[in-house]
């Protein structure tokens, strides 16, 4: 259980940081974690809906990729709501 939580934190930080760079933002480490974890939920839901439930299971790289996709979508929505554009 503790190992899974630590993995979520690591993947969340990495995915949030990558999404931040893709979207041209400059957020804090905590914000990257939050964006990455929520992005993982969003990305997992989207990938699961498109490709089926089995598509959401994989290794670290797949988890980060799915999380980054979700985080970029999340940041795009936030930017649209706030009226900001990506650089």
Q: If you average pLDDT over residues 69-85, what whole number do you get?
A: 87
- The token pair at 3 is 């190992």
Does the pTM exceed 0.85? no
Instruction: For 14-53, write each residue's pLDDT tens digit.
Output: 999 999 999 998 888 899 889 999 998 899 889 888 887 6
Sequence ranges of the domains in the chain = 7-82
Beta carbons of 74 and 36 less than 8 angstroms apart: no
Q: CA–CA separation, 52 vs 39, rounded Å? A: 18
């Amino acid at each position: 259980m503790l190992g899974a939580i630590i993995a979520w934190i690591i993947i969340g930080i990495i995915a949030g940081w990558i999404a931040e760079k893709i979207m041209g933002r400059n957020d804090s480490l905590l914000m990257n974690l939050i964006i990455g974890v929520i992005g993982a939920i969003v990305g997992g839901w989207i990938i699961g809906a498109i490709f089926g439930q089995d598509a959401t299971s994989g290794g670290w790289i797949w988890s980060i990729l799915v999380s980054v996709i979700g985080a970029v979508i999340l940041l795009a929505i936030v930017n649209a709501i706030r009226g900001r554009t990506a650089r």
